[in-house]
Chains A and B, each alone.
Chain A
Amino acid sequence: MQNSNTLPKPGESTWLWLIKIITGVLIIGILVLHFIVNHYLGPEGLLTFDEILQYYRNYPIVPIMEGFFLVFVVSHSLIGVRSIILDLNPSRQFLRVLDVILVVIGVVSIVYGIWLLGAILAQAPPA
């Protein structure tokens, strides 16, 4: 007989919650910048390819920041997805499978994103 009286279900702890909170705060800051850059910097709104390159080259810190932004957003979203699924009272077996899936999605997204940043910078024309 499963009963959380006797069997606490592990799997969401202070630390996971704190990561969600801390990444959330960091995302707010970077996201505001992201909105401003993407909607106000370019004369015609959304940045074109050349404008993105120029932006990255003018501010070399930006690609690094974008890399961290990616890590924060991906972590926050996946912990959030897990949190919503935990609200649905998943079985322990399902949770184990889900954790593997989420970690794979997270790692793939971050590796892909960093590769993409590199690919963009590699296309930069010589200064």
Chain B
Amino acid sequence: MQSETRKVTLSAILRWFDPRKTEAGNWAFILNRVSAIGLTIYLYLHLIILGKLAQGPEAYDSFIDIVRDPIFVFGEFLVVAGGFIHGLNGIRVILNSFGIGVPYQKQLFFGLMAVAVIASVIIGIRMFTV
């Protein structure tokens, strides 16, 4: 049986991230998976770090001073952009799963990703100029 002869290999996992013919749906899958992993890691780091709020204003505000460094702002920007990409692509998956817009999934993907880019740029300008 297939299930016994084939083990999960690294090369098989890398196929998740292989854009191949660079079709829209495959890119959507890749972006969704990468952003999902990134956002999950961020979420739990975020929850742990917010523990500083319990230690009072000094502890928290000194942390906020650190993360106003451009390197951290850039990292945060990636999180925000990842949030938009994952969320908007999620809308595509939901619509398709309920039978809406399946023949237009490519246009849907490009449209939603355009929204993600615009939203990220708008919020990015604020993040880097404030």
A interface, CB within 8 angstroms of B: 1-4, 21, 24-25, 27-28, 31, 35, 39-40, 44-50, 52, 70, 73-74, 77, 80-81, 84, 87-89, 109, 112-113, 116, 119-120, 123
Contacts and interface: CB of A to CB of B under 8 A. Distances in A.
Interface stretch (B18-26, B47-55, B99-107): B47-55
A49 B43 contact: no
Interface in B50-86: 50-51, 53-54, 56-57, 60-61, 64, 67-68, 80, 83
Interface of B: 1, 3-4, 8, 13, 16, 33, 36-37, 39-40, 43-44, 47, 50-51, 53-54, 56-57, 60-61, 64, 67-68, 80, 83, 87, 90-91, 94, 97, 123, 126-127, 130
**What 3 pairs between A and B have smallest CB-CB spacing?**
A49-B57, A45-B130, A119-B54
A120 B130 CA distance: 26
Which of B1, B47, B61, B126 has the most A CB atoms < 10 Å from its CB? Answer: B47
Contacts of A28: 87, 90-91
DSSP class of A's interface residues: helix, strand, loop or mixed? helix
17 contacts: A2-B4, A4-B3, A21-B94, A24-B90, A25-B94, A27-B87, A35-B123, A39-B80, A39-B127, A46-B64, A46-B67, A80-B36, A80-B40, A88-B8, A88-B13, A109-B47, A119-B54
A81 B67 CA distance: 27
Given A49-B61, A81-B40, A116 B87 contact: no
A82 to B, nearest CB: 11
Contact of B8 (A48, A89, A113): A89
Contacts of B8: 88-89
Contact of A31 (B3, B16, B87, B127): B87
A77 B68 contact: no
Contacts of A77: 39-40, 43
B53 A39 contact: no
B111 to A, nearest CB: 16
Contact of B44 (A1, A50, A80, A109): A109
